[in-house]
Structure 1
Amino acid sequence: MRLREPIPPFADVPDWVNGAIDKSELKGRPVLVHFWAISCYLCKEGLPFVNEWRDKYAEPYRLQVVGVHSPRSDKDKDPETVRGAIRQYDLKHPVAIDNDLTITDSFMNEYVPAYYLFDAEGQMRFYGAGEKAIRMVEQRLHKLLGPKP
């Protein structure tokens, strides 16, 4: 994906944890889409940060975090194992179990962890992947969201 492209739909993923999300529900809200996999060590290290951002920027900014579990191998495709990790890491936001890579492909995402930040108009404003991206996400959140109203 390129900067300023619209957020792709979250269609055709039958398995959601913490409620399915539809693109129409995101209008007027900044959105952080986080791709991760249970077999990824860096992904697990980043999950507490994702939770922190979810809680810190929920009000008054109304940040919506959407997790996408994007399996890297067949071992990552067990839904109960993924659900266990979601509970273990206290992921309270919607998480798609994207075993068929439907969302992953619509974002043209190749890496985990990966972070896509969209503004309230639904345009992508930041993309980052890997170890260094985790440090950049909060900077971009501050830039996008601005000072507290």
Structure 2
Amino acid sequence: MRLRTMLPELEGATAWLNSGEIKRKDLVGSPILVHFWSISCDLCKRDMLVLNQICEQYLDHWRVISVHTPLSDEDKNQEEVRRVADEHEIYRPVLIDHEDRLSKIFRIRHVPAYYLFDGEGRLRHYQSGGGGLSLLRRRMDRLSGQ
């Protein structure tokens, strides 16, 4: 996905955790963080505590959606996804993308992956891999006008 690309519709979810279905129109108007992760990704789990702190810090100004994308067939157990989300205190909406529809649109190659969209829904920053959450926080500050 290229910078300045509009946030795509969030279609094709196998299920949603912690919310009902959310559409693009529900998100645009505030900055948006879309976070891709997988239950079999150790880096995802390691960074989750810091990511949760970031999400809490920006709760009033940002919309945050997490997307579970499977790395293998074993990752497609929805109850295990729910268990791991609970274990890591992921209380924000989680789109379960077990048919890889959204992952293909976003061109996910590695998890964790973070996409920041401005209030108009245009992609302003992307990063993937473990660590680097201080850079993510700086980019979120910039988009928040802080």
- The answer for the alignment partner of 2:5 in structure 1 is 5
User: How big is the shift at 1:46?
Assistant: 1.5
SS of residue matched to 2:126: strand
Q: TM-score, normalised by structure 1?
A: 0.92
| One-letter identity of the residue aligned with 2:135 | M
- The answer for the alignment partner of 1:23 in structure 2 is 24
- The answer for the alignment partner of 1:38 in structure 2 is 39
1:75 aligns with 2:74: yes
| One-letter identity of the residue aligned with 1:16 | W
> Comparing 103-112 with 31-40, which one deviates more in the overlay?
103-112
Write the distance in 1 (CA, Å) between the matches of 2:121 and 2:92.
18
Q: TM-score, normalised by structure 2?
A: 0.94
Write the distance in 2 (CA, Å) between the matches of 1:32 and 1:142.
12
- Indicate the RMSD between aligned Cα atoms, in angstroms: 1.1
Report Cα offsets for 1:26-64 as digits up to 9, x if no partner: 1201110000011111000121122112211112x2x01
Percent of matched pairs sharing the same residue: 39
Equivalent pair of 2:35/2:113 in contact (CA under 8 Å): yes
Write the distance in 1 (CA, Å) between the matches of 2:121 and 2:46.
27
